[in-house]
Structures are given as structure tokens and as C-alpha cells.
Structure 1
Amino acid sequence: MSSNPLLVSTDHPLFAQIEPEHVLPAVESALAANRRAIDELLKDAIPRTWERFVEPLTALDEKLDRVWTPVRHLNAVANSKELRAAYNACLPKLSAYHTELGHNVRLYEAWKSLAEGPQFRALNTAQRKVVLDTLRDFRLSGVALPPEQKKRFAEIQEALSKLQSTFEENLLDATHAWHLDFDDEKALEGLPPSGLALARQAAEEAGKPGAYRITLDFPSYYGVMCHCRDQALREKVYTAYVTRASDQGPQAGQWDNSAVMHDILRLRLEAAQLLGYANFAQESLATKMADSPEQVIDFLSDLANKGKLAAERDLSDLRTFAAQELGLDELHAWDMAYTSERLSEHRFALEQEALKPYFPVDSVLQGLFTLTEKLFDVRIAQGPEVETWHKDIRFYEIRDPDGTLRAQFYLDLYARQHKRGGAWMDECVSRHHYADTMRYPIAFLTCNSTPPLGEQPALFTHDEVITLFHEFGHGLHHMLTRIDYPAVSGINGVEWDAVELPSQFMENWCWTREALDLFARHYETGETLPEAMLEALLASRDFQAGMQMLRQIEFSLFDMRLHQEYDPALPTDIQALLNDVRDTVAVVKPPAFNRFQHSFTHIFGGGYAAGYYSYKWAEVLSADAFARFEEDGLFNPATGHAFLHSILERGGSQPAAELFREFRGREPSVDALLRHHGIAA
């Protein structure tokens, strides 16, 4: 088994050597070894201490992570039929193992004895948080359930693990199964040169040189929606995109997530009720800042009320412009992005396409790194040679001013086949200092930005720049932590509705002249962003902010209400519930065939179930945090150090509300968020 690269003890996975046939044997080996070690640990009747109990358990977690983390990552960024089969074969085994741990009464009692013994008082704040969080998670794992209910709970967790993976696979397959090919670029009139080059490159990669291919990968889809003049083409591409993995559209019934969603919701409800909660929404909030579904719904409804007037004004402006300037008497869903782009160009004399030459990849990265160095007094540089999963991957390290290593990260920037859509940060290694050993944080930072085209470097839209800054904010939270215990270092142990604070905080810099001056430079001339374009870009920040806010609130309310109200006995009509939410808050209603929910991976595949509201909740925190920089001076070193110390370095070692109050000196206020979006409080 020593030839298995997944069983080599290294913090930098041997990506170039990992094959699908390595996965199952490595996972089975790690699980068996961990089970034996836990049994041995629990035979020991001595008083439980941090060093002799928590540290050995942490080492076992890390041993399993070394095996599974690279597999999970490869499944998202380099998916193949063989890897998917190996990945799915392991899901029930991992689910069973984690459920076993959560139901291990002897393990639970051992943690309790540590919490109730004299050792607990000697622990520091972060260590005590680890113990208390672990006991809470035991209760949420059903440790106190009677045997038959425990058995059922375990079955549910295993089934959910498979179903959530199936949801994502269906979406991935549906996304990559559809395309449109054209022999003549005239059919794509309006698509800018970069969009045409992307379409030409996609066709070449598919073995059709000289043709143009439109796909449902987001850069391709979005380019058509914003720029193609052919309304019928926009309708066709929009319909394919919003009906992926559903019962509607050109692939109706293929990879359909309809039944998968109901199964997920039914099982989540059953598991929550086994634990004594009325619904899954209540269970979800046990690990969040918000106290109840009602509090979340009130928070969202209040924001919706504050933003509704602005959203209605945005839509009225759009309709007027569409009728007067574009001859569109009726504004269809597939006209929205196209018309918005034209209105933005008209109002601000700014074309997003014209901005792209000023956001070349290397300049944007250098600006992001320079900003981070100025704010948080660290140094970022290219790291040593490591194995990666694709030729485009970059590897960097972060050091303190004295040269001490702080963290490292892999950067995977571009959209491509066999890679999951969206953008995310994931942990490769969490900070862990024990005895004489230090494991430094390593992050995976993943985007799906427009790739380089031919000899030209990758040129980003401003939205793609914002996405990169957002994910890097998550990365900084993970990488700059000073907490030495993985369970509460970095993003671990942070309440889910506060975890977006650093990421959304970083987005704000993309809207400041001072930060843009660091990186907005023309890729051919080195010229900075012309003053007129800069003014127009900054003025465009508030553009359709009301509509965008209500859209996020719509998704958040749908998520929370779905998990609060779902009843398999009726059963709940998911589409009807979404329509009801839209009737309450939305100013834009999509067509009846739209199946947004079938691709809502955040709540059906990812970790945002009954937690999508976290984006808005954390945006209040991030806007208010950034307001202190506006008050003190954007690059004030004392303010940067305060944010680093109170938020980034402390991870999940204390409640997020305490850390925010420490940084801001008061409770959070919604005023900064409304001001940043041009929506009066």
C-alpha cells in the first residue's frame, strides 16, 4: 500500500500521481486505522487531558483529511467518470464512520469528563471552545438517541451524503451536455471579441476548428445574455441554462433533480425531528448567530422593505429604457441582462467589455497581494514547486515580515471542462501547532473566470475581479489565523452566518479608487484606468442595487421557509413555495418554466441549507466593518491590524458577535450596507 500516493504523509498532495483506483483502498485503510486507534484510546481509563486525549483525536482527523481532502478537491476540479465512481463508493463509508463517531457514547462521555473535570479550567479560551463545540456537535449527531433511532439517523446521514452528491453531479452533467455550434460569427452579433475568442476556443477543444461553440459554462452563458443582439438566441440559451437538471427545457427529464430535492428535504426533516427539532431550519440555526427562523425571516423582510422602492425604481428605469432605446415593449427574462448592460453603457458611458483590458490576471493578482500586504503586514510570493491537477494552477506562500512562513495556497482561476461551476475556498491543511510541530494552513482557492485566449493573457470582468477578492477573503480567514487547534482555527468553528464577513469585506476594495489604482492597468500599455472610466465604474456600484438585493433576499427567504415549512405528508410543492416568496418580495418574476431551484447547489449540494441568508447577514457585518476603514483611513495600519487581530487571526475561537464588537466597539448597524448600495435607510 506504500505505493498509494494518498497514503503518503505530506501536506502537499501528490496530485499528479493520484489515480481513481487509489481512492477506495486509501480511504478504507485510513478508516480502519482510525477505528483501531480510537478503540485503543478509549481503553485508557486515565483522566482525560488535552495532550493525551484531544491531540491524539486531532491527529486521527488529520490523517483521514490527508487522504480524503485531495479526492474531494479533484472530484470538483478534475471530474471524470472513473473518479466520480471512486468518490461515490467512499461517501457511504465516510458517512458511516462520522455517524459512528457521533454516536459513540464512550467517546462522548470521555469529552464530557474533560469538560466537567479540573483540567477544563486550565484550558485556554480556544481550547474550551473546542470542547464545548464538540459536545454540541455530539448532541446534533444524535448521541443521546435510543438505539433504533440512532440506527435510523445513521441511515439518513448516509443517504443524504449520496443524494447531495447526486444533485451536484446531475447539474454538472446537464451543464456540460448542452451546447450550440455556429459556423459563422454573424449569428453571434454583438458578442465582443473576447466572447468570440472564447467560443472559437471551445469549438477547437471540441474538435471543430473554425466554428464557434456556446456552452452553459458561466463565462460563455453570461457573454451571450449580456451582449448577443439576437433575442431568439438569448431566449434559447437562457432556457437551457435555467432549466438544467429539471423537468423543463431542452433536456427535460434528463438528470432531473426534482425527486432528489424532495428526498433531501424529507430526510433532513426526519433527522431534525429525531433530534427534537420541529424542522431542519431550527436545527441549522443551532450552529449560527441567528436564534430562530422567525428572527431570520424578520431580518430579511425588513431588508426587503427597505430595498423594495429602490428595486421598483430600477425595474421601471429598465423598462423605460428598453421601450425607448431598444424597441422592446415587453421585457422578457432573457432580455434583462442585455438591456441592463445597454442601460449601464448609456448611463455611465461604460462598457464592461472595455474594462477588461485593464484587469489582466497578473496585474489583478499583484494588486490583490499588494493590498493584502499593506493591510495586514504580510508578504505574498510564488511558492516552491508542488504537484498540481492542471497546468494552469499557481502556488503561493504568505510570510510574516521576518520571513516566517504563515500559509500557502493553490490558485485555480479558470473555467474548463470537468470542473464544477462557481467559486469557492476549501481547506487543504488547517493550522495546527502541537509539541514541536507546526502545520501551516494551506488553502484551495477556486474560481471559474474567463481563461487566457490564444497568446493574450486572461482579462477579467470587474465581476470576476470581485469574485477573486471574495474568495481570497475566505482564504485570508483560513490562512492568517493564529489559533493552533484545527477545530477552531481559520474558518472552523465560526458561525456559518458570520463566515462570509472576511470575504464580503474584501469585495469592498474593488470599489475604491485607492485599491483600483494598485492593479487596474492596461495589459498592453500599462496605462492606469482612465479617470472617466474610473468615475463611471465607481458610479455604477449602485446600479440596480435594489433589484440585486431583493434577488438575494428572495433566495434566502425561499431557503429558510422551505426548510421551516416542508411537509412530506402534503407534500410541499417546491415551485409553489418559491412563487409565493416571489409574490412577497420580488419585483422581477421569471417565466413559469424557470427551474432555478434545480441548480441551487448552495442549499441542495453545499453547506448553506437553511443558511443562505448568511450572505446578507454577514454583508451587514462586512459593510459595517469596512465603514471603520472609511472613517479611519483606508490604509490605516492600526485599523488593518485591528481587523487582522480581532477577526482574521482569532478564527472560531470565540463567538463571532464578541469578535465583531471588539473590532467595531459596538453592535453591528445596517446603515453602512444601505449607504454602500445607495439605498436610503
Structure 2
Amino acid sequence: MPAPRRRNLLPSQLLHQCQNTGAPMSNPLSEISLLPPFDRMQPDHVEPAIAELIGNCRDVLREGLEQPGWDTTLAPLEEAEDRLTRAFSPVSHLNSVLSGDWRAPYEAALAEVTAYWTEQGQNPELYEVYRRLSETGGFENWPQARKQMIRLGMRDFRLGGVALEGEERERFAANSRRLAELSSRFANNVLDATNAWTYHTSDVEELAGLPVTAIAAAEEAARSRGNEGWTITLDGPSYLAVMTHADNRELRERVYRAFVSRASDVGPQAGKFDNSAVMEEILALRAEQARLLGFGSYAELSVASKMAPDAGEVTRFLEDLAARARPAAEREYADLRLFARESLSLEHLHPWDIPWAAERLKQSRYAISQEELRPYFPYPQVLAGLFSVVEKLFGVTVEEDASVPVWHRDVQFFWLAREGERIAGFYLDPFAREKKRGGAWMASVATRRQAKAGMQLPIAYLVCNFSAATGDTPSLLTHNEVTTLFHEFGHGLHHMLTRVDVAAVSGINGVAWDAVELPSQFLENWCWQPEAIAMISGHYRTGEPLPRALLDKMLAAKNFQSAMFTVRQLEFALFDFLLHSRPAGASVREIQQLLDEVRARVAVVPVIADNRFQHSFSHIFAGGYAAGYYSYKWAEVLSADAFSMFEERGIFDADTGLRFLGSILEQGGSRDALELFTEFRGREPSIEALLRHSGIDAVTTPDVQ
């Protein structure tokens, strides 16, 4: 997933620490170069740099308003704001991947940056510049990117409260600042709750069933904490290994209960990092923001800037897909219960049994497991294969540059080039570690734009949380993790391969949020193609490609429990959208009640009473997916339909690859998402390919408008 956007926040270049020679102190966050010098950045550089850059933005705007126009107002302001966003980006990033000393300066900077963007969004003089330019003679003949920036800018001014006055205006601005603070607090609580819980054992027999790689990781986790034995954490790789493979049912239950109750009022850390009050206040403030702008709910406000035509269409889309998927999901779950009872002697299938039992059913049915595949997907080989896939599809090459300063020894930096010319770059931070936020995401370092000094290259962060190498064994990925890497790289390509030179609509900027997952989900498809799998696989000891027998089993198992996975996503999406459709927010009790109601309608897998999924649902409470989690399924329709053209013409068909590049990746947000998709596919999107790829039978196949 892409990191949440605040306009186009990016980073800058940072800090020279001057010796005490009487020379003025130099702050690299106030200086501009393409790549942040992470080897010289310090937390105490943040506050003065952000204050200076915000002040400069205000000065530039003040001067620009004296003679309104594109060249006199908007172009200089873009230049100044780019410096600000490129300074704030590494601060935000380091808070996510290192936390610790960066948390306080990040939160202080976030407050100031949020206040600035809110102030800009409510500036009637700046809005008037946009309005007048849109009415200028010859506006329709402007370059497309500039026209789109003006159109989207006018929309965002309205959604930013530019028409509000007096007390309502002040209230909207105060709410915006408070919401930024609360989102950060929510994320901090989840991270702290995740880091605070561990289970240590000195008896390796307790870990029976865990793969060798997971046991080695647990031993390393203990060692890093100064202990002998084995330590289980709630980090993704550790948690998933226990839930999927641990034969110790008591251990599975212990870890499950700790995980699903994180940052809540129940569980082993009850009340310690509780997000209950945070959720209530976030929802109340979002509802108030919507009312102030004349919307009936925050969901309506959210959809106003998305591809979906209205809130009703989103609800119909989700409920229709749930109606199609739930019968298949019920059959899948019934099969699992029968297998658990007859083959595993589990009369009652508890939530902590389900992944474990499902893995055994999968092995029974297909004689394949993620762990059996893992030795064939060493991280270095997968990465090299990914780069080869992208080169064949889009004609770009990837080369590492070890001279670029990074924030951790595991991080690598790469340049993208076309015909020998560098066109973009990215940092890759692949492995899980303490104080690093869980999950996977892409974020912007710098956006492609026409700067004073020339064309600024786009730079991205790509972040995952895979298991690191242990001893002489490299990091070995499950196939699920392989698809995660492809997914995030798809986001990165959307950001890096743009040819747009106006920051507001370059890369992922200006792209409707419910279409932004199209390139990422699209690229996942190559993880399932035999020709591509031969490029990304190779046994870590022998280099042997994935054997045909294993490949056939993996492909046969592709849609194993896919309907159960689909309804789980729909459960989250419907809960999110219906929660934000309420006109006045919700109490903690009402949040739980709504989630229970959605589960009763959509879900097939039971949960325990102490399940507090919502308390760690960072996508909607700390990210950019509030009333937008449906975007994953909405964009999956687009991505499946787009890939179906490659199925028809060849998965490495050069003409089709260049067509996707030209119609989707290079265009960024310069044109509407539906228009771009229709240009590529030759028609509007259809849900048919998604249902086929998921193995879900379709009764009817209405187009998704």
C-alpha cells in the first residue's frame, strides 16, 4: 500500500553538523539536494528546518499574490512547498522505520505541517488565483497536467474548507490539526503494544511444528534481548509462523489473544495502549468536518475525491461482491471444519486453530505449503527476478548504488534507468526489526517535477517486513511475501515511471485513492506465471529453479480458500465504509456493535469476544484509507481486467507492456482514472476477470462504473 498522502509531502536533504568554529550552523533539512543524507540527520535538526521552510512558503505566497498567475504565483509556490515536503518526508519515514528518538520531533513537525496545509487549503486569495486561471481564455489549450492541477486544486480547496468563515473556519482548522495528532497517536499505540509483548521459552519443544527459519528467528530475537532460548513476538513473520505452524495449541491461543487485543481495553496489556478514546475522537471529528463542508457523512466527503461516483455505489459494489463470494466462503469453511474434525481430531475449531488447520488441509489436498516453497525464493533471487520482469515489461533497468547513505545496514538504494539514463531511484528496507512499523508500504522521497534547476527525478521508499537472514542462510520468502514485494514495487513504478512534470499530479499524486492500488495489484499477477516464476525462483543452496511438480501444485492451490479471504476483505471494507457513513461518529460500544453486525452478514470465520481488530486497524485510523478501504477490491477489479489483456496477448507482450506504461504508469494523476483505464483496455472495467481469477463463479457480471 502507498503511505498516506498529505498533499505531496516528500523529503529533502539534510544536515551538516558544523564544528564549533564560529561558522553558522548548517541544517541539511533546510538545504536541497535529491537524496537525504541519512548518515548526518539528527532529530534536533527537525524543528528549526520545518519552521524555516514553512516561513519561506508563506513569504513566497505573499509575494506571489501581488501579481497573480501561473509563473508568478503557482510555480514559485510549488518550488517552495517541494522543499518543505522533501524535508518532512525523511522525518516521517524515520519515525516509521526507527521510531524512538524520531517520534517527538516528527509529531512536533506534523503539527506545524498540518497547520500549514490547512491554512493553504482555506486561503481565499490563493483559491481565487486557481479560479481565475480556470476561467482564463485559452485554458483548455494548456498542457494537460496544468489543467488537471487547477481542476483538482479547486476541488481540494472546497474540501479543505475555503468557503467556511468565522467560527466554522477556525473549527475546521483546529479539527484538522487534532486529527493529525490523533492518527499519529493511534499508530504509536499499535506499535508500542506490538513491541511490548513477547513470549519467551527455554524449551524448544514448545515450538514444535515451526519451520527451521522461524525457530532460528526466535532464537535471534531472544539473543538480541540478552536472553538464551527462544522469543516469540507479535511482529508479522513471528506471529504468522506460530499461527500457521505451531503444533502447540496453547501457544497458538496465547499469541492469538495477544495479537487480536493489541492497543485495546482487553487482553494481556488491557488498557495500557488503549485506542478506544482515540477512535471515538477521530470519528467525531471526521463527522464534524463533513458536516462543516455540507456532507451528510465522512463517507460522502471521502468519495467526493475518488473514482466511485457516490457512496451508494460503493456500498452496492461491496454488498454485491459479498453476495457472490459468501456462499463459496461458507463451503470452504465447512470443508475446513470437516477436515479438522475427521483428520485433526478438533471437534471445535477455535480462531487460533484456523490458520494451522488450513495449512494442513492445503497440504492434504495439494501436497504443498508456503514453507516447502520458501527455499526456492531467497530474497536476493526474488529481487533480481523482479527487476528482470520489470525490464521485460517496461524497458527499464535497475542498478544498486551502495554509495548512497541509508538509515540501517539492511537498506539498499537503487537507480532506475532507461536506455542508460537515470530516470528515478528508490530505497528498499525489506526486513522486520524492533521499533519498525509493521506491514508494507511505498512512500515518496521526491516527486518528478520541472524545478528551477531542471527536471527533478522521482525517488521512493519501499518498505516490507520479511524475516531477515539468519547465520549463513539468506532471507527466504514465502510466496505470499513474494507477492507483497511485487505489490509494493508496483506502487513504486507508478510513482517513478511518471512522465508528468507538475508535482500535484505527478506519480501517485492526484490519482483517485480507489484507483491507486491498480498498478500494485496488477504487478502481483506475474508471481503466478510460470515464465516469471522461473526468473524469481532458485533454491538458495543449489540455484535449482522451482521444480515443475512444485510449480504445478502451487498453481493448483492458488485459489485455496480465496472466497474466505475475499469475504474477510469485504468485512473490513464494509465495516470501514458503514462506520464512516454515520452522521455523528460512534462510541466504542457502537463501533464494536457495527463490526459484529457486519461480521454476521459477511464473515464465515468466528472470532472471540476479546477480538479488538478495530483498535489496530491502522489503515483507517492512522492511514489514508478512512472510508476508502474498499479501494483494495475496487482497484482489484481494474487490475484483474487489465491483466486479462496480457493473458490474451502474452504476459511479456512488449506492445501491451508499453501500452500499460503509456496509459497508466506514465500518466500519474494528470487524467481521470476511468479515462486512463478505458484508454488502455479499450472499454470500461468489468468484474468478470476478478471473479475468474479468484475462482468465484459469477451469476451475473455487471460492469463497475
TM-score, scaled relative to structure 2: 0.94
Q: 1:352 to 1:571 in 2, by over 3 A?
A: closer
Q: How far is the alpha carbon of 1:588 from its aligned partner?
A: 1.1
Q: Do residues 73 (structure 1) and 93 (structure 2) align?
A: yes
Q: Do residues 343 (structure 1) and 361 (structure 2) align?
A: yes
For residue 129 of structure 1, what is the aligned residue in structure 2? 148
For residue 122 of structure 2, what is the aligned residue in structure 1? 103
What SS does structure 1 have at the residue aligned with 2:408?
coil
CA distance in structure 1 between the aligned counterparts of 2:34 and 2:505, rounded to whole angstroms: 19
What SS does structure 2 have at the residue aligned with 1:542?
coil
Answer whether contact 2:193 2:273 (CA < 8 A) is retained. yes
What SS does structure 2 have at the residue aligned with 1:433?
strand
Q: Do residues 561 (structure 1) and 581 (structure 2) align?
A: no
For residue 525 of structure 1, what is the aligned residue in structure 2? 542
1:288-307 equivalent positions in 2, closer than 5 A:
288-307=306-325
What SS does structure 1 have at the residue aligned with 2:313?
helix
- In the TM superposition, what whole-angstrom CA distance separates every residue of 1:353-395 from its partner, at most 9, and x where no partner exists? 1111100111000110000000011111113511110011011
For residue 551 of structure 2, what is the aligned residue in structure 1? 534
Q: How far is the alpha carbon of 1:486 from its aligned partner?
A: 1.1
CA distance in structure 1 between the aligned counterparts of 2:693 and 2:525, rounded to whole angstroms: 9
Q: How far is the alpha carbon of 1:52 from its aligned partner?
A: 2.5
Q: Do residues 206 (structure 1) and 229 (structure 2) align?
A: no
CA distance in structure 1 between the aligned counterparts of 2:190 and 2:94, rounded to whole angstroms: 17
- Structure 1 gap ranges (5+): none
Divergent runs of 4+, >6 A: 569-572
Q: Do residues 41 (structure 1) and 60 (structure 2) align?
A: no
For residue 618 of structure 2, what is the aligned residue in structure 1? 601
CA distance in structure 2 between the aligned counterparts of 1:2 and 1:110, rounded to whole angstroms: 38
Answer whether contact 1:566 1:572 (CA < 8 A) is retained. no
Answer whether contact 2:279 2:588 (CA < 8 A) is retained. no
CA distance in structure 2 between the aligned counterparts of 1:376 and 1:51, rounded to whole angstroms: 34
> Please, which moves more after superposition, 257-266 or 291-300?
291-300
For residue 26 of structure 2, what is the aligned residue in structure 1? 3
Q: Do residues 668 (structure 1) and 668 (structure 2) align?
A: no
Q: How far is the alpha carbon of 1:178 from its aligned partner?
A: 0.3
| RMSD of aligned alpha carbons | 1.2
CA distance in structure 1 between the aligned counterparts of 2:33 and 2:586, rounded to whole angstroms: 50
Q: Do residues 52 (structure 1) and 72 (structure 2) align?
A: yes
Answer whether contact 1:6 1:14 (CA < 8 A) is retained. no
- Picking from 361, 368, 378, the partner of 2:386 is 368
Q: 1:570 to 1:348 in 2, by over 3 A?
A: closer
1:239-278 equivalent positions in 2, closer than 5 A:
239-278=257-296
For residue 526 of structure 2, what is the aligned residue in structure 1? 509
Answer whether contact 1:642 1:663 (CA < 8 A) is retained. yes
Answer whether contact 1:10 1:66 (CA < 8 A) is retained. no
1:129-528 equivalent positions in 2, closer than 5 A:
129-208=148-227, 210-383=228-401, 385-401=403-419, 403-434=420-451, 437-528=454-545
CA distance in structure 1 between the aligned counterparts of 2:239 and 2:345, rounded to whole angstroms: 24
Q: 1:353 to 1:274 in 2, by over 3 A?
A: same
Counterpart AA for 1:227: H
What SS does structure 1 have at the residue aligned with 2:558?
helix
TM-score, scaled relative to structure 1: 0.98
CA distance in structure 2 between the aligned counterparts of 1:275 and 1:565, rounded to whole angstroms: 15
Q: How far is the alpha carbon of 1:106 from its aligned partner?
A: 1.1
Q: How far is the alpha carbon of 1:91 from its aligned partner?
A: 2.1
CA distance in structure 2 between the aligned counterparts of 1:508 and 1:370, rounded to whole angstroms: 15
Q: How far is the alpha carbon of 1:204 from its aligned partner?
A: 0.6
Answer whether contact 2:402 2:412 (CA < 8 A) is retained. no
Counterpart AA for 1:515: A
Counterpart AA for 2:54: L
Q: How far is the alpha carbon of 1:571 from its aligned partner?
A: 8.1
- Picking from 41, 46, 49, the partner of 1:26 is 49
CA distance in structure 2 between the aligned counterparts of 1:145 and 1:243, rounded to whole angstroms: 40
- In the TM superposition, what whole-angstrom CA distance separates every residue of 1:482-538 from its partner, at most 9, and x where no partner exists? 111111111111100000000000111111111101121101101011111101111
Answer whether contact 2:88 2:109 (CA < 8 A) is retained. no
For residue 14 of structure 1, what is the aligned residue in structure 2? 37
Counterpart AA for 1:380: V
Answer whether contact 2:276 2:588 (CA < 8 A) is retained. no
Q: 1:413 to 1:569 in 2, by over 3 A?
A: closer
- In the TM superposition, what whole-angstrom CA distance separates every residue of 1:325-353 from its partner, at most 9, and x where no partner exists? 11000110000110011111111111211
What SS does structure 2 have at the residue aligned with 1:25?
helix
For residue 10 of structure 2, what is the aligned residue in structure 1? none
Q: 1:315 to 1:200 in 2, by over 3 A?
A: same
CA distance in structure 2 between the aligned counterparts of 1:512 and 1:30, rounded to whole angstroms: 48
CA distance in structure 1 between the aligned counterparts of 2:335 and 2:551, rounded to whole angstroms: 23
- Picking from 651, 665, 672, the partner of 1:655 is 672
Q: How far is the alpha carbon of 1:570 from its aligned partner?
A: 7.6
Q: 1:19 to 1:571 in 2, by over 3 A?
A: closer
What SS does structure 1 have at the residue aligned with 2:399?
strand
Q: Do residues 61 (structure 1) and 75 (structure 2) align?
A: no
- In the TM superposition, what whole-angstrom CA distance separates every residue of 1:188-218 from its partner, at most 9, and x where no partner exists? 111111010000010111111x310000001
- In the TM superposition, what whole-angstrom CA distance separates every residue of 1:42-80 from its partner, at most 9, and x where no partner exists? 122xx51x3332211110111101210110000001111
- In the TM superposition, what whole-angstrom CA distance separates every residue of 1:385-407 from its partner, at most 9, and x where no partner exists? 11110011011111112x11111
Q: How far is the alpha carbon of 1:157 from its aligned partner?
A: 0.3
